[in-house]
Amino acid sequence: MNVTRREFGRLTALGVAAQFAPALNAQSGKKIGYAVIGLGRIADHFMRGALLTGNSAITGLVSGHRDKADKIAAQYNVPQGSIYSYENFDEIAKNPAIDAVYVALPNSMHAEYTIRAAKAGKHVLCEKPMALNVAECESMIAACKVANVKLMIAYRCHYEPIQLKAIDLIRTGKLGKVQVIESAYGFNEDAGEWRLDKKLAGGGPLYDVGIYCLNACRYLTGEEPTDFSAYASVVDHDGRFDTVEENLVWTMKFPSGAVASCSTTYGAPMDGYFRVHGSKGLLECTSAFGYENVRLRGFYSGTRIDESETTPDPYQFQAEADHFSNCILMNKEPQSPGEEGLRDLTYITRIYRSAGIPI
């Protein structure tokens, strides 16, 4: 997606220009070296994305499975001396090739490894949800501030061109006043996945995929919700949902008067989308939270829109790595800092309380 300097200036005013900052500002030559903590599915997307940037490199791996780490190290030219276990992780402090870490662990481990990385003097890019609860988020933010390292939460949709287009149309008033937002995301989760264990995940689909709907309503409106009402249920009593909810639906009200209705599930396929109803038009984004094929359709003031992002995965991970590396190189604050993750955990807490779910 090509952006002129005039367009970049307009996006900057809206606070959504983060994806394009590297192309205009990045220092040439220097690459930020990342140690990837946890070598699961999402780590693979990130590593492939980082490889496509001009300012990021994979320079370390952290895993409990040495054979797996050895294979990945060969792919990314990571030396054997830069492969760590969880036990000797703190030794990364002595490795000058590692500037930052990417935390791709189960949610229950985010706080521990963010804090340990900060104490080792490394910047932190942590996957969402940020942590299990508000207290852990606050500890992560405090540890990074004390260590004078940057903390970014991997909200990749903040750097996705179609999402930025939707934000631009809404924030510049083309859609008129936002009245109602609808959003949903979910899938049928398999038995045995760690996401079904509350001790590891913190909660059910709201933590994992419903958070995309929550966060989208916030960045689309540019507002923070003030009121919540929620309902949760378990339909399939097959052992998968002994500790987490299967379905959750909630509504939110914003200071402007706009209201949002969101749904998430682990019991059915639910393609991620959002639909924004404004006084002058409608925007609908499909595959909104997936890794590719994001599409925006709608109309406003007689103008129709139908745009798609055809760049294949892992372009969203490339964008977020590019952005965070540029923030480190240019000493800038990330577009999605720890405070962004903290706000979502604060709202998740209120949603669960409304639904009668202890957290």
- Whether 25 is in a domain gets the answer yes
Examine residue 289 and state whether it is found in any structural domain, yes or no: yes
Quick one: 303 and 167 in the same domain? yes
- What is the per-residue pLDDT for 92? 98
Model pLDDT for residues 38-64, shown as the tens digit of each residue: 999 999 999 999 999 999 999 999 999
The number of angstroms, rounded, from the C-alpha of 276 to the middle of its chain's C-alpha atoms is: 21
d(CA 63, CA 29): 29
The helix or strand, by DSSP H or E, that contains position 163, with its residue range, turns out to be: helix 161-171
Q: Find the CATH number of the domain harbouring 266.
A: 3.30.360.10
Q: State whether 114 and 176 are in the same domain.
A: no
Specify if 34 maps to a domain. Answer: yes
> Positive or negative, the Cα torsion across 7, 8, 13, 14?
positive
124 and 228 share a domain?
Answer: no
Q: Which pLDDT value is given to residue 4?
A: 39
Last residue of a domain, one of 156, 182, 205: 156
Which structure tokens are listed for 325?
């590396």
Confidence at residue 26, expressed as pLDDT on a 0 to 100 scale = 46
Count: domains in the chain: 2
Angle between helices 315-330 and 41-51 (to 10 degrees): 60
Residue 113 in domain: yes
How would you classify the pairing of strands 267-278 and 281-286? antiparallel
Is there a single domain that holds both residue 151 and residue 196?
A: no
* pLDDT surpasses 70 at 69: yes
Report the predicted TM-score, pTM, of the whole model to 2 decimal places: 0.93
For 148, the domain range is 20-156
Q: What is the CATH number of the domain that holds 98?
A: 3.40.50.720
Q: Are residues 105 and 228 in the same domain?
A: no
Smallest CA-to-CA distance from 214 within 344, 302, 19, 349 is with: 344
Domain end point (choices 275, 293, 308): 308
**Does residue 317 fall inside a structural domain?**
no
Neighbour-count burial of 125, counting CB atoms closer than 10 A to its CB (0-12 exposed, 13-18 middle, 19+ buried): buried
Give me 166's structure tokens: 């939707």
Please indicate, yes or no, if residue 194 is contained in any of the structural domains. yes
Residue 196 has pLDDT above 50, yes or no: yes
Question: Residue 13: pLDDT band by 50, 70, 90 thresholds?
Answer: very low
Residues 138 and 186 in one domain: no
pLDDT digits (tens, 9 = 90+) for 24-40: 444 468 999 999 999 99
- Is residue 329 included in any domain, yes or no? no
pLDDT value at residue 220: 98
Structure tokens at 354: 């409304």
Residues 167 and 303 in one domain: yes
**pLDDT value of residue 3:** 41
Q: What pLDDT is stored for residue 190 in this prediction?
A: 98
Chain-centre distance for alpha carbon 167: 16
Residue 23 pLDDT exceeds 80: no
210-261 residue pLDDT tens: 999 999 999 999 999 999 999 999 999 999 999 999 999 999 999 999 999 9
Is pLDDT above 90 for 197? yes
Whether residues 122 and 165 fall in one domain: no
Angle (nearest 5°) at CA 214 between 303 and 34: 100
For residue 285, the one-letter residue type is C
Residue scoring higher pLDDT (21 or 175)? 175
Domain match, 227 and 260 both: yes
41 and 106 share a domain? yes
Flag whether pLDDT at 21 surpasses 50: no
| Residue 151 and residue 47 share a domain | yes
Answer with the one of 116, 132, 156 that is the final residue of a domain. 156
- The rounded mean pLDDT for the chain is 94
Read off the pLDDT band of 359 (50, 70, 90). Answer: confident
Percent of the chain with pLDDT over 70: 92
At 1, the pLDDT band (50, 70, 90 cuts) reads very low
Q: Is residue 112 one of the residues assigned to a domain?
A: yes
- If asked whether residues 29 and 102 sit together in one domain, one would say yes
Res 28: pLDDT: 60
- Distances in Å between the Cα of 264 and the Cα atoms of 11, 82, 93 are 30, 39, 40
Instruction: Name 171's Cβ contacts closer than 8 Å, sequence gap at least 6.
Output: 14, 16, 222
Give the 3-state secondary structure of residue 316. Answer: helix
Q: Give the residue numbers marked as catalytic.
A: 128, 212
